[in-house]
Structure formats: structure tokens, C-alpha cells
Amino acid sequence: MARFEVYVSDEGLAEIDGEFLVPVPGQSVDEAVLDQLHRYAVERGEAVEATVTERPEKGHFVLEVSPDGSSRLLVPPEEPPLNAEPEPEPVPVPVPVPDPVPAPSRPAVGGTVIAAAMARAAAAAASAQAAALAPAPAAAPASAVVLPPELAGQISQMNALARAGRLDEARALASELRRRLTDEAGADDPYAVEARAMEAYIVHLCGDHREAVVLALAVARIRCGAGDRRAPEDVARAVAAWQWLDDERAIVVHGQELLRMWEKLGHRGVLTPVHTELAGRVRTRVEESSGVFV
């Protein structure tokens, strides 16, 4: 069974085996952790295990996630005292987690990965009960922009396809939507920007990191220029795609633009210490790569 190390910081950022995890726009970091572990399980065709260390005061736990989306919390065994009889094996606590459909509003539950898993299970049970009584309308994904019902339904469909591993279909829909909205209203239109952010995320999942960087940088560039409060998170998402690049020239060219955006946001006083640390990592890699291809 594959095993992963997950760390969730006080600032709400997560790493899996040292790689930054970037939530889709509107998604919490705890849900992003569950979704990524589910993808790993689907890719391997078997359950995966993750040791999750949450914000220091919340401790750590072990979570097992299966390809069908269900999960169970594994209670870590306590070390028996010397010369004592060993304790019986701990019993796993099942936490069923079917693949969720993003909802327009989800109750806040504790802000932890465990809470997110429990909230998903509860939401799935409630949805199943409601579906038995009446058909439910398509739910809109969480977003800082209020999306029209048609657009919200399309983005929900992309999310569902991505979670099911049908990434090529999700990417085709995202690309078509972004092109159409851009042609109709321009690249700076809020709906077109949301569509581009969604496309960047799906392209990143597809493994086309160069294209994901280009798309994510476009979103960050627009929102930085507009003074959007989401700009620091958008630059961080661009960094998450950029760190996968292996072409030194691309690393430097795109890295320099990332640094210019970090600098602009720093002058506005909107960067957290985590963002400042990310900017430092980008600068170090750009400097190292500059000496390779020059």
C-alpha cells in the first residue's frame, strides 16, 4: 500500500510528500487533501494511506482512502509500557466518503481534514435522502464570483469528470468554456477568469505543466492588475504548477514573472509569511536555473 505524508500549516497551506497542494478555486485545503489522496488511490487501483499532521495544536492521525472515494480513520497504536502486555490491535473507525458534488454552501465543521471527511459523509447522506423525495437541481461550485446557473452547472460537470479520472473530457470542456467566454466578454471578464482558473487546475492534473503555468499566470496577472484580494492565492497556484517545470529557460522566464507579481503584492502589504517564503523559494530556483542555460 502506498503511503504519503501530509502536512497542513496554520496558514491553511498543505503539502503532500513535500509538494505544495493547491486547492481548486473555492475549495478548502482540507477538501483538496481528500481529493488528492482519492486521485492517488484511483491511479493505483488500491487504497492509499496518509499520515496527516495538521496545525500543530491539532496533532496527527492516519487516514486510509480507497479508489471508490470511501475512507477510514486508522487510530494510531499507542506504545505499550515496558514489560506490559501488548494492547490489542486498534479497530479502524470507518468514515464513508463517496465522491461529493460541490455545493453552493457547506457548513463549516472544525476546519480539519477529519472534519471535512465527516462533513462529506453527512452531506452525501443528506443528499441521498433528499434525492429519494425529489430531484435536486445542479449545484454550483463554491466561488468568489456568483456564477449564473448554466455556468455553475458546467463547472460542476468538469469537477465531477476530474474526480472520476476523466481528465481529457474535463479539459476539453474547460478549454471550450474559457474560449467562448473570452470571445464573448474579453479575457478580463470575471466569468472568463473563473473559467481560465478552472482550466489551469484541470490542465495541471493532466500533467501538462507548461500549459498549466501559462494559464495560471494569466489568471494571477489579471487579478494582480485589478487589485483582487484573491491575487496572492492565484500566484501561489501558479507557483504550484511552475515547480513541475523541467526546462531551465521556462523556469527562469516564468519564475521572473512570478517574482514581479510577488514584489507588487508585497508592496501592497497583502502577503502572508507563507507567501513570502514561497517567493523566496521561487527566487532561489530562478537564480540556480539562470546559471544553467545562460
Question: For residue 219, how many C-alpha atoms fall within 13 Å in the half-sphere facing its CB?
Answer: 32
3-state class (DSSP) for residue 183: helix
What's the chain's average pLDDT?
76
Specify the higher pLDDT residue, 138 or 234: 234
Q: Which of 63-67, 145-149, 223-227, 262-266 has the lowest mean pLDDT?
A: 145-149
User: What is the average per-residue pLDDT within 264-269?
Assistant: 93
Q: What is the mean predicted confidence (pLDDT) over 28-38?
A: 81
**Higher-confidence residue: 180 or 104?**
180
- Cα–Cα separations (whole angstroms), residue 105 to 139, 144, 146, 170, 189: 9, 12, 12, 23, 24
pLDDT digits (tens, 9 = 90+) for 4-14: 998 887 766 78
Phi, psi (5° rounding) for residue 34? -60, -45
- Lowest average pLDDT, out of 27-41, 50-64, 174-188, 191-205, goes to 50-64
Higher pLDDT, 107 or 285: 285
pLDDT computed for residue 98 by the predictor: 38
The number of beta carbons lying within 10 Å of the beta carbon of residue 30 is: 25
Average pLDDT on 27-41 reads: 81
Is residue 52's pLDDT more than 70?
Answer: yes
Query: Within a 13 Å sphere around the CA of 146, how many CA atoms are in the beta-carbon half?
Result: 0
Tell me what pLDDT residue 8 has: 83
Instruction: Out of 1-10, 189-198, 229-238, 255-264, pick the least confident.
Output: 1-10
Greater model confidence, 208 or 45? 208
212-220 mean pLDDT: 94
**pLDDT band at residue 114 under the 50/70/90 scheme:** low
Residue 257 has pLDDT above 90, yes or no: yes
| pLDDT reading at 43 higher than 70 | yes
250, pLDDT greater than 60: yes
Mean predicted confidence (pLDDT) in 235-252: 90
Which pLDDT value is given to residue 76? 54
One DSSP character per residue, 113-145 reads: HHHHHHHHHHHHHHHHHHHHHSPPPPPPPP-SS
